[in-house]
Structure formats: C-alpha cells, structure tokens
Amino acid sequence: MRQIVLDTETTGLNAKLGDRVIEIGCLELLNRRPTGNHFHHYLNPGRGSEEGAMKVHGISDEFLLDKPRFHEIAPEFIEYISGAELIIHNAPFDVEFLEQELALAKLPPLAQHCAGVTDTLKLAKSLHPGKKNSLDALCERHGVNNVHRTLHGALLDAELLAEVYLAMTRGQESLVIELEPAPAAVQSTGGVPVKRGRQMVLAATEEELAGHASVLADIQAQSKGRCVWLRPDADAAEATPAASPETAASAR
C-alpha cells in the first residue's frame, strides 16, 4: 500500500479569488513505513502573498521570484503521486488549490492521478469529537514532537502529519491479531500451551493429572461413591426420580 502525505502553502485562503500554491511538501509511506522518498518544491505563484498568509508560512515574495512555476514541476509531481492514496489534513482546502493548479496547467484533475484522498481532519473529528483537531493539537494529543515548528512549512507539516496519521490509525496494520508466545517460565513447568482466540490455555502435566485423580479418589471414598466429578450423568440421574414398579407397570 503506497500513501503520500501531502501539504501545501498558499498565497491566501481563497483559490477562487486567485490565490496560488507557493509550496508543496510530500513524503511517501509504503506499507505504513516512511521510505525517505520526499517531494518538495517552492513555487513562483506570479502574485504576492497576503499579509495574513505570510505571517503563517513566513515565505517572502522575493524568495519565490526565481522559483519554478507549477506547470514546470507538474510532470514530476504527477509521477510522484501516481496511483497513491493522498493523506491530507483539511483535504478540501489543499485539493481545491491543487485542482486549480492542474487546470491552469491544462492537466487532468487530481482524481485521475491518485487512488483517493484521506482527510485526517475528518478522521480526527470522528476520533476526538468536540476537541481541537488542528495539527498542533493532534501532535500534543498523540505525543508527536513539534517543538521545532514555529512557522508552517509544507514538508515539515507533512512529516508531522505522517506521524500523527500513523498514531491515529495504529492497529490497522493487520486484521489478524498475533498472539505472543508462551513465556519461558510457563514452558519450563512442562505445560503445553494451547492458543485459542486471544487467550492462552495450558494443558495439565502428567504430574498434575495424577494429583487431581488422587484428590477425586479421596472424595469418592469419603462420600461412599457419590463424587459427582466421577459420575458425569449424576445430575441427570438425580433430576429424574426412578419410576416405581406400579408406575412402570401402568406405562406398559
């Protein structure tokens, strides 16, 4: 299973009003393990960032002047995400911007390049209803160290999101629960561990079986043959009184 954890930074909050992507950061998960295969680009959006957006990401317009336009890195981006599931926090926001960039580059929409999109914000809300579910809040909740995050950065946020996503979905690696082997201390007693479901059952040793038989024999002797553990049908026999000769005769 190949997944791409993705984040973007933009010039503002509204793609419909002409805001553009200025940074894309992605990392690859293969069977839920980071591979070290990253995709990261700063982009020249052809316009300035809004003051509020710049306070969030800290990327100046001057820094972006010599960076490539989206259409220049689009083939590399499409190849990178091809066939993978995208993991995005607040996915509708990033997806809208990416769809706009693809359309401006006269390329097919995102759905034709990836296997689907998972929104970790939606997932977090289902797991933690009524709580803050920002990336910072989720890092704190799941023990992900984000002390080095002072400004938003696409690649850094993707790395943090990958850790958060794996923490939120821990336990989904397999539908089969593997049982732990019997401890050495148990095996040394001579018991034979038997696995049934999620419990471990130990079969009695020959010495334990002999001791058990001895106890039952003592009970049998003291009760004058009335040890119920040696009479499997005792309950049924005692529950059904024996028929009298008269009753037996009338039943014929």
Same domain, 44 and 96: yes
Cα dihedral 148→152→156→158 (10° resolution): 140
Same domain, 163 and 195: no
Q: What local confidence, expressed as pLDDT, does residue 42 receive?
A: 98
**Residue 195: is its pLDDT beyond 50?**
no
Same domain, 126 and 29: yes
**Residue 191: is its pLDDT beyond 50?**
no
Answer whether 95's CB lies under 8 Å from 12's CB.
no
Does 45 fall in a domain?
Answer: yes
Q: What local confidence, expressed as pLDDT, does residue 88 receive?
A: 98
Same domain, 161 and 189: no
Q: Which 8-state DSSP code applies to residue 231? A: -
Q: How many folded domains does the chain comprise?
A: 2
Instruction: Give the tokens for residue 70.
Output: 């989206």
Q: What local confidence, expressed as pLDDT, does residue 201 receive?
A: 58
Answer whether 28's CB lies under 8 Å from 34's CB.
yes
Residue at 191: amino acid letter: G
Does 249 fall in a domain?
Answer: no
Same domain, 59 and 122: yes
Does 77 fall in a domain?
Answer: yes
Specify the pTM: 0.67
Same domain, 142 and 219: no
Pick the last residue of a domain from 168, 194, 221: 168
Same domain, 217 and 146: no
Indicate which residue of 38, 128, 152, 212 is catalytic: 152
Classified as helix, coil or strand, 117 is strand
Among 43-47, 190-194, 233-237, whose mean pLDDT is lowest?
190-194
Q: Which 8-state DSSP code applies to residue 35? A: E
pLDDT > 70: what percent of the chain? 77
**Can 152 be counted among the known catalytic residues?**
yes
Domain hosting 200: range is: 184-241
52-74 pLDDT tens trace: 999 999 999 999 999 999 999 99
Pick the last residue of a domain from 168, 198, 228: 168
**CATH number of the domain bearing residue 57:** 3.30.420.10
Question: Residue 154 — pLDDT band, cuts 50, 70, 90?
Answer: very high
Same domain, 91 and 207: no
**Residue 216: is its pLDDT beyond 80?**
no
Question: Residue 225 — pLDDT band, cuts 50, 70, 90?
Answer: confident
Q: What local confidence, expressed as pLDDT, does residue 213 receive?
A: 81
Same domain, 142 and 204: no
Same domain, 201 and 82: no
Does 93 fall in a domain?
Answer: yes
When comparing pLDDT for 153 and 44, which is higher?
44
